[in-house]
Copies of this chain bind each other. A is one copy, B any other.
Amino acid sequence: MTISIFEDNDKLRDLIEMLIGSSDEFEVKGSYTNTYDILNKVIKDQPDVIIMDIDMPEHDGIEGVQIVKKKFPDVKIIMHTVFDDDDRLFTCLSYGADGYILKKDASSSLFNAIKEVLSGGAPMSAGIATRVLQTFRKVEKPKNEYNITEREKQILELLTRGFSYRMIGIECSISIETVRRHLKNIYHKLHVQCGTEAVAKAIGERLLML
Interface residues in chain A, defined as those with a beta carbon under 8 Å from any beta carbon in chain B = 90, 93-98, 116, 119-124, 126-127, 129-130, 132-133, 136-140, 159-162, 164, 192-197, 199-200, 203-204, 210
Contact = CB atoms under 8 A, between A and B. Distances in A.
B127 A132 contact: no
A96 B98 CA distance: 23
30 contacts: A90-B136, A93-B136, A93-B137, A94-B138, A94-B139, A95-B137, A95-B140, A96-B137, A97-B133, A98-B133, A119-B126, A121-B126, A121-B127, A121-B130, A122-B129, A122-B132, A122-B133, A123-B129, A124-B129, A132-B133, A159-B196, A160-B197, A160-B200, A162-B192, A162-B197, A164-B194, A196-B196, A199-B199, A200-B210, A204-B210
A123 to B, nearest CB: 8
Given A119-B126, A129-B129, 20 more contacts: A90-B136, A93-B133, A93-B136, A94-B138, A94-B140, A97-B133, A98-B130, A98-B133, A116-B126, A120-B126, A121-B126, A121-B130, A122-B124, A122-B129, A122-B133, A132-B136, A160-B200, A162-B192, A200-B210, A203-B203
B122 A126 contact: yes
